[in-house]
């Protein structure tokens, strides 16, 4: 996934493009570049590596002009190199393009361009776009039709922004499958892959739809849909505070986002629980009265949240709930009848496999209810109903606050469905009362972060970890392992503790720390037995336990306590020490916690 930005207006073009790219860097950070028009030339500045290198270059050699585009790249086609950095240009340097997405038929188009004499310098799919526009412009001398003709030839998903000496006061943008937002200023206009890069300029935004083509000048934005002609896209006023992502003094966004969790849970409790009544929908979606099965499909951390959702939906709402990895769900011959609802869970709302999963559901004419963070994202727009988790921008690649926000919404949805289906256990008011204690309990955990730092210091050099949980904290074990592996690059497995004897116990020795998630729940005693198994094989055990649990303290090598809470809600609390453990080990290993190697914040490619 890449980030693109375009600006036309009176501000300093270098600083506008750069500040926008800083907000988009989490989308990809292999290389970066900007281009602007001034004099009768397009000027380029491109670097390999992270954005700070582009900032240094622009400090020494700033761009000028009032029309510019920028790009931060997560390499899909073509290795990381200066030639492959965007913007990409045509033969004569009169057209510059930045692109997010994949052009699936680029090889055949590139061969045709080469046969026609075009000089292509990169190994990217993107580079064919300026050359195709050039090719058609030379024939028609109509730049807009050259763009339209080019876009018709492209197969795949893309969001592109184009500047050209042929139309030096304009930026052209096309959305097809990858997100693109335009921002309406007074004497300036802006476009970007998402709203974080726009709110610093204007809070008035419109979300382009597929096949939209936008033309931006300093004083106007025209939008037409390539299939339906001129269109008006709704203008939203974005909550700048919620979507202005700054580190605010934290060393990494991830740590800031971990510490935001109490406030986000508090905000959502106030939003979704009014007078001890759950308010999720203006009107109850009719299909909720008839469904007998839910299929939750998601990826990564969102899948872990869905797995917790499975346990509570089945126990509280008595509804069969399947949890699928989206990239598997979309290719399996699904048995889905009309009483099935599909739920997508996605922080970004742009994950390609999850998006494809809901399209499969809709082909089967099934209702899709999605839990999403980013407003108006593709998954949000294509779902029958969407519940926004309101976690604000999550910049760190490792998902933290979105995970607990997803969990909260799943608990509330399970209670809502339980009541709708006429079940009375557990008592809704009892769970709501427990949920209302979560923010302060989360805050208490964060106040004891130094306990986690001490554990991280002791275990940071180990190269293998195991995370064990049972019942509703089996997904917590999976999530703890994912957090650690994705930002510290340490091999970590999450396992259901009951499976130890069926193989994983063979892995245990003094070189394999085992994190055992064992707060007071119905499986507490079983988990204690698992700890004994590990200890008898010289394994080192890090226990996550309930405050005051002296038995666990006697069993394990190191312990971290969470406040007592209803057993079903323990995933909301155990998530925090697991996040902090991964964070501090990664920092101690000197790694870039927010931008781990090989990963991107949202996987918009399959």
As a whole number of angstroms, the distance between CA 578 and CA 378 comes to 30
Q: Whole-angstrom Cα distance, residue 45 to residue 33?
A: 5
Residue with Cβ nearer ligand AGP (76 or 354): 354
- What are 372's two structure tokens? 């999403």
Kindly report each contact of residues 426-435 with a partner whose C-beta sits within 8 Å and lies 24 or more positions away, as own/partner: 426/316, 426/566, 426/568, 428/276, 428/278, 429/276, 430/566, 431/566, 431/568, 431/569, 432/273, 432/276, 432/278, 434/565, 434/566, 434/569, 435/269, 435/273, 435/408, 435/411, 435/569
CB of 351 to ligand AGP, least distance (A): 3
Give catalytic status of residue 91 as yes or no.
Answer: no
Of the candidates 2, 170, 483, 485, the residue annotated as catalytic is 2
Which one, 9 or 300, has the nearer CB to ligand AGP?
A: 300
Contact call for residues 202 and 185 (beta carbons, < 8 A): yes
Q: How far is the CB of 464 from ligand AGP (least distance, A)?
A: 20
The pair of structure tokens assigned to 275 is 């007078």
Q: How many CB atoms lie within 10 A of CB 69?
A: 30
Nearest in space to 88 (alpha carbons), one of 50, 119, 54: 119
Identify whether 426 is preceded by a cis peptide bond (ω within 30 of 0).
yes
Nearest-approach distance from CB 109 to ligand AGP, in angstroms: 30
CB of residue 140 to ligand AGP, shortest distance in Å: 41
Cβ-Cβ contacts under 8 Å for 38 (sequence gap 6 or more): 63, 64, 65, 66
Residues 6 or more apart in contact with residue 88 via CB below 8 angstroms: 96, 97, 98, 99, 122, 124, 126, 127, 129, 130
Residues that bind ligand AGP (CB under 6 A): 299-302, 346-348, 351, 354, 397-399, 482, 486, 602-603
Q: Please state the closest distance from residue 380 (CB atom) to ligand AGP, in A.
A: 11
- Closest CB to ligand AGP among residues 260, 549: 260
| 406-440: burial string, b at 16+ Cβ within 10 Å, e else | bbbbbbbbbbbbbeeeebeebebeebbebbeebbe
Query: Is 299 known to be catalytic?
Result: no
Q: CB 482 → ligand AGP: shortest distance, Å?
A: 6
Least distance to ligand AGP from the beta carbon of 59, Å?
A: 32
Q: Write down the H helix ranges in 69-176.
A: 106-115, 128-140, 143-153
Q: Tell me the two tokens of residue 196.
A: 């974080």
Q: Shortest distance, CB of residue 379 to ligand AGP, whole angstroms? A: 8
For residues 18 and 380, which CB has a smaller minimum distance to ligand AGP in the complex? Answer: 380
Which tokens go with 421? 């289906």
Going by the DSSP 8-state scheme, the letter that residue 569 receives in this structure is G
Determine contact, residues 326/353, Cβ cutoff 8 Å.
Answer: yes
Which of 72/302 has CB closer to ligand AGP?
A: 302
**How far apart are CB 574 and ligand AGP at their closest, in Å?**
16
Q: Are 205 and 213 in contact (CB under 8 A)?
A: no
Of residues 89 and 391, the one with the C-beta less far from ligand AGP: 391
In the complex, least distance from residue 99 CB atom to ligand AGP, rounded to whole angstroms: 21
Residue 273 token pair? 């629980």
Q: Which is nearer to ligand AGP, 37 or 298 (CB)?
A: 298
Take residue 124 and report the two structure tokens written for it.
């990217």
d(CA 200, CA 220): 19
Supply the minimum distance, in Å, between the C-beta of residue 322 and ligand AGP: 18
Pair of tokens at residue 265? 């849970």
> Cα Rg for the chain, rounded, in angstroms?
25
By beta-carbon proximity to ligand AGP, the closer residue of 90 and 353 is 353
Closest distance between ligand AGP and the C-beta of residue 81, in Å? 26
Q: How far apart are the first and last CA of the chain?
A: 10
The residue of the chain with the least Cβ separation from ligand AGP equals 300
If the CB atoms of residues 205 and 299 are measured against ligand AGP, the closer one turns out to be 299
From CA 425, how far away is CA 317, in angstroms rounded? 9
Show the tokens assigned to 207.
């979300």
**φ, ψ for residue 491 (rounded to 5)?**
-70, 120
The active-site residue out of 310, 441, 540, 601 is: 601
Cβ atoms within 10 Å of 212's Cβ, excluding its own: 23
Bridge partners of residue 467, in order along the sequence = 494, 515
Q: How far apart are CA 355 and CA 376, in angstroms?
A: 13
Cβ closer to ligand AGP: 487 or 500?
Answer: 487
Nearer to ligand AGP, 300 or 367 (CB): 300
Give the number of other Cβ atoms within 10 Å of residue 274's Cβ.
9
Q: What angle, rounded to 10 degrees, do the helices at 428-435 and 401-420 form?
A: 170
How far is Cα 467 from Cα 482, in angstroms, rounded to an integer?
A: 10
Helix axes of 261-272 and 438-447: crossing angle, nearest 10 degrees? 180
25 neighbors 80 (Cβ within 8 angstroms): no
Cβ closest to ligand AGP, residue 87 vs residue 306: 306
Catalytically annotated residues: 2, 601
């Amino acid at each position: 996934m890449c980030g693109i930005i375009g600006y036309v207006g009176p501000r300093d073009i270098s600083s506008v493009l750069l500040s926008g790219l800083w907000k988009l860097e989490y989308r990809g950070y292999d290389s970066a570049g900007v281009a602007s028009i001034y004099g009768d030339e397009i000027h380029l500045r491109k670097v390999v590596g992270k954005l700070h290198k582009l900032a240094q270059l622009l400090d020494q050699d700033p761009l000028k002009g009032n029309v510019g585009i920028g790009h931060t790249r997560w390499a899909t086609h073509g290795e990381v190199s200066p030639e492959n950095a965007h913007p990409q240009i045509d033969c004569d340097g009169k057209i510059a393009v930045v692109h997010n997405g994949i052009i699936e038929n680029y090889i055949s188009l590139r061969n045709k361009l080469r046969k026609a004499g075009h000089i292509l310098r990169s190994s990217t799919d993107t580079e064919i776009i300026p050359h195709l526009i050039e090719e058609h412009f030379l024939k028609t001398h109509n730049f807009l039709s050259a763009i339209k003709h080019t876009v018709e030839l492209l197969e795949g998903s893309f969001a592109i922004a184009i500047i050209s000496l042929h139309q030096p006061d304009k930026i052209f943008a096309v959305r097809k499958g990858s997100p693109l937002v335009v921002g309406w200023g007074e004497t300036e206009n802006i476009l970007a892959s998402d709203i974080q890069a726009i709110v610093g300029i204007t809070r008035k935004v419109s979300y382009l739809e597929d096949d939209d083509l936008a033309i931006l000048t300093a004083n106007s934005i025209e939008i037409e849909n390539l299939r339906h002609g001129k269109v008006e896209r709704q203008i939203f006023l974005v909550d700048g505070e919620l979507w202005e992502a700054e580190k605010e003094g934290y060393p990494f966004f991830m740590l800031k986002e971990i510490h935001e969790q109490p406030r986000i849970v508090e905000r959502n409790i106030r939003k979704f629980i009014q007078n001890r009544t759950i308010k999720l929908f203006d009107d109850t979606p009719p299909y909720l009265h008839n469904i007998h099965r839910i299929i939750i499909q998601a990826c990564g951390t969102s899948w872990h949240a869905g797995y917790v959702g499975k346990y509570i939906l089945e126990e509280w709402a008595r509804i069969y709930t399947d949890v699928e990895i989206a990239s598997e769900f979309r290719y399996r011959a699904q048995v889905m009848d009309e009483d099935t609802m599909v739920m997508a869970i996605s922080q970004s709302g742009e994950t390609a496999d999850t998006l494809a999963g809901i399209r499969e559901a809709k082909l089967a004419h099934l209702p899709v209810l999605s839990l999403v963070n980013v407003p108006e994202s593709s998954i949000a727009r294509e779902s029958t109903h969407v519940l926004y988790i309101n976690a604000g921008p999550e910049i760190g690649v490792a998902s933290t606050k979105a995970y607990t926000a997803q969990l909260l919404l799943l608990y509330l949805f399970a209670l809502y469905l339980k009541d709708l289906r006429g079940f009375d256990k557990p008592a809704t008011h009892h769970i709501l009362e427990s949920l209302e204690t979560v923010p302060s309990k989360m805050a208490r955990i964060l106040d004891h972060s130094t306990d986690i730092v001490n554990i991280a210091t002791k275990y940071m050099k180990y190269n293998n970890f195991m995370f064990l949980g049972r019942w509703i904290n089996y997904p917590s074990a999976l999530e703890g392992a994912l957090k650690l592996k994705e930002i510290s690059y340490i091999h970590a497995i999450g396992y259901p503790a009951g499976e130890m004897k069926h193989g994983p116990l063979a892995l245990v020795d003094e070189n394999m720390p085992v994190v055992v998630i064992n707060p007071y729940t119905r499986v507490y005693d079983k988990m204690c037995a698992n700890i004994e198994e590990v200890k008898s094989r010289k394994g080192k055990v890090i226990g996550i336990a309930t405050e005051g649990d002296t038995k666990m303290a006697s069993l394990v090598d190191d312990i971290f306590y969470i406040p007592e809470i209803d057993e079903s809600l323990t995933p909301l609390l155990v998530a925090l020490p697991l996040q902090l453990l991964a964070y501090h080990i990664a920092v101690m290993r000197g790694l870039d916690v927010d931008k781990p190697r090989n990963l991107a914040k949202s996987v918009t490619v399959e």
